[in-house]
Amino acid sequence: MAFSWKNQVILLTGGTGSFGQKFTEIVLKKYKPQTVRIFSRDEWKQWDMEKRFRDPRLRFFLGDVRDKDRLRRAMEGATLVVHAAALKQVPLCEYNPFEAIKTNVMGAQNVIDAALDAGIPRVMALSTDKAVNPVNLYGASKLCAEKLFVQGNAYTGPRSTRFSCVRYGNVVGSRGSVLPLFLAQRSTGRLTVTDERMTRFWLTLEQGVAFVVRCIEQMRGGEVFVPKIPSMRLIDMARAVAPQARIDVTGIRPGEKIHEVLITEDEAPRTYDGKDGYVVLPSYDPQERPTVKNIKFLSPQFRYSSETNTQWMTKNELLKIVEGLTHS
């Protein structure tokens, strides 16, 4: 049966974060959900979000994904869960590994268990390129979360619940991303870049939300959806934002990669091109394998990496995004 957003009761974990607020804004504006439940642990952000949106379809649940009982209560009567809650600052996760595991791994398992108990039909989790060949704890914890969500489909039994993931790159302008740092440094006349060679995948919050929406509509359970998005060198981004500023190369930080990867050669043989993105199928035999007509998997040599990407963000495209951020 085709998915319809009308009258959906959505639970959004991490609902007061950058993605959560943009997802809420777009879904309320373009679609007709019955309710969007914002689940997060920050009471001030919830109060601020309620004041800003002033929409009777919003509900606010104070809670932490570490608390399975609270999740179960929040999921009662929900029909869709979007799991966006995570600790994602790499240095902080490195310094506080126990906390990162409790939220990113155990929290993911709690979401899965609660969704199974509540019989939620669709559960979509947000992942990151840092989960691919991880070199830091944040990436390793998100890899574990991906594995949990994909394998969660093996626990559904007679239930209609299905789990999938969306994996994408850096969100331009989100909290903690490098672009707001560059904009803040611009007035000093000095920008810092850790390595001149460094590249990253980039997309806007709007693009991220639109892709998640499409993937929720298409998911059958067990897929990891990967969008086709542009790359850009960080030093080119710095020069575009502040062409007159001095750029200091400070050296790569612990847990940081020169380039990021969204799909590895190991995943390519079970990945197909879904037009606006790639779809990685699970390595095991799920209960209900996605039905795709004329499916053609990628070459075993295929690797989707930020430095060999065929799509690159231009200076003008970046400046257009910057203009939107500075006038928002």
Neighbours of 157 (CB within 10 A): 8
- The rounded distance, in Å, linking the Cα atoms of 102 and 88 is 13
Specify the CATH architecture of the domain 9-326.
Answer: 3-Layer(aba) Sandwich (3.40)
pLDDT of residue 327: 62
- The rounded distance, in Å, linking the Cα atoms of 298 and 123 is 26
Instruction: Check: CB of residue 30 under 8 Å from CB of residue 52.
Output: no
Instruction: Check: CB of residue 231 under 8 Å from CB of residue 311.
Output: yes
Residues in the chain where the model's pLDDT stays below 50:
none
130 tagged catalytic: yes
- The rounded distance, in Å, linking the Cα atoms of 212 and 205 is 11
* Structural domain boundaries in the chain: 9-326
Tokens of residue 258, six digits: 């020169």
pLDDT of residue 274: 87
> Global pTM?
0.94
The active-site residue, picked from 88, 130, 142, 257, is 130
pLDDT of residue 52: 96
- The rounded distance, in Å, linking the Cα atoms of 213 and 16 is 18
pLDDT of residue 84: 97
